[in-house]
Amino acid sequence: MYMDYVEEEIQKENYYKEERLIMIKAKRTGTKVTTGKVRLSYANLFEPRAMEGQEPKYSVSVIIPKTDTETLKAIKEAVAEAKEQGKGKFGGKVPANLKTPLHDGDIDRPDDEAYANCYYLNANSKNKPGIVDKNVQPVLDATEVYSGCYARLTLNFYAYSASGNKGIACGLGNVQKLEDGEPLGGFTRAEDDFDSVETAEDDFLG
């Protein structure tokens, strides 16, 4: 009887795991992509940051495991569609050496373990992204969404041609934090650094 109960609970847990996996599956509508579970790096999502000589933007590096074929497929298809839509900016023909946003971490960042066995792209926006948690509740605490945590994002791909540079860029949409991860870049959260401390006043009040 007890073993039947345990087996039933395991089956329920596996079912809910599968349901969660389905919920975070990547999808594409035109040039817009909703990713699967990815990792964030160089996350500037609550305050815009400016490169020298440029206007401030919200930005993030999106790390995508090579095993996440659904997200990668959606991104490649969105990039292909953005190329077609952008032909007018390219003189009616897609250049052979067109810059694209998706990079191979093993080739372009071989010394960074966080990018091993992953692809990555950089996304930015002038507008602040909407940020929610896994229950779709707004995240107001900037320390909750950091470089190293896991999330899913909406991304939009578009063509550009400026100052002799032509390519496909990635616009940052919204962010949904899924779970915590090992912080990247030396960042640590206060709740991870400290334990609760019982004071004499606590003893007195208790």
Domain positions in the chain are 27-187
Tokens of 16: 């809910």
The DSSP secondary structure of 136-195, one letter per residue, reads SPBP--GGGS-TT-EEEEEEEEEEEEETTEEEEEEEEEEEEEEE----STT---HHHH--
pLDDT tens column, 110-133: 999 999 999 999 999 999 999 999
> What gap in Å lies between CA 171 and CA 127, rounded to an integer?
10
Task: Give this prediction's pTM.
Answer: 0.79
pLDDT at 206 over 80: no
Architecture of domain 27-187: Beta Barrel (2.40)
> Could you read off the pLDDT of 59-84 as tens digits, one per residue?
999 999 999 999 999 999 999 999 99
